Amino acid sequence: MIAALGLGFAAALPAEELERVLDRHYEALGGLDRLREVETLRITGTNRFQQQEISVEYSARRPNLLRMESASPVFEMVRVFDGERAWQAVSQPGESPQVVEMSGQDALELIRESDFDGPLIDYEEKGHEVDYQGLVEQDGSEYHQLHVTEANGVTETYLIDADEYRMVRRISSVAVEGGYLDFETHYGDFREVDGLVFPFSTATLSDGQVVFTGTIDEVEVDPELDITLFQRPG
């Protein structure tokens, strides 16, 4: 429904409009040169899912190393993509974790998340397609709508605020047993850290209902991250 609103504009607008929007978007995040300078990131915060609070720590190293740690009173989980394999370790507090390789949709999502720059930067070199679908209006505001088809076949719709040029919504379908679930993620509370702009709050909705929220406590740009952090134990 939302994607269809912009289809009538796609043929009428030149390809240069897409590049203009992307250039403004990169500038809103701190500038393409600054984005490419960053080698590592560490982000800590809290996620809330079904009245459960989960502490999270996200460590990333260019070009595609990713470690995601989650902990609650009832479980601890580590998920890592080491550039070649996706693996995870899950345990209850105080127990020794069992390390297993990930596969299927879970592995795909982790590998997608490991792209340090995200799908928009150098999208052509990565084999992605990005289509500009014009301006759409929602809730009294205007957004530039982009339809992204990644090289792996995953498709998403991004809404970029027409005033600030920050991505404020991402619409996706996630494969589940028996079909797909549609999700809409909203980004807000944008703050500058070391010349880069990050959304410090997120809310993910399905069928108009909030199912997941996230709050960032701290962003560290270029922290020391030892390569062993991303290596599978044993």
Kindly state the helix (H) or strand (E) to which residue 47 belongs, with its residue range.
strand 40-49
- Residue 75 φ/ψ, nearest 5 degrees: -155, 160
pLDDT at 192: 98
Give me 51's structure tokens: 């009245």
Residue 50: pLDDT band by 50, 70, 90 thresholds?
Answer: confident
For residue 218, the tally of other CB atoms under 10 A from its CB is 11
Classify domain 2-230 by CATH number.
2.50.20.10
- Report the distance separating Cα 233 and Cα 78, nearest Å: 12
CA 99 → CA 37, 116, 204, 220, distances in Å? Answer: 33, 24, 29, 28
Per residue in 158-167, pLDDT (tens digit) is: 999 999 999 9
Q: Among the listed ranges 9-13, 17-21, 48-52, 139-143, which one has the minimum average pLDDT value?
A: 9-13
Q: What ranges make up the beta strands (E) of 92-150?
A: 98-101, 129-138, 141-149
Per residue in 74-128, pLDDT (tens digit) is: 889 999 999 999 999 998 877 788 899 999 989 999 999 999 999 999 999 999 9
Peptide bond before residue 63 is cis, with ω within 30 degrees of 0:
yes
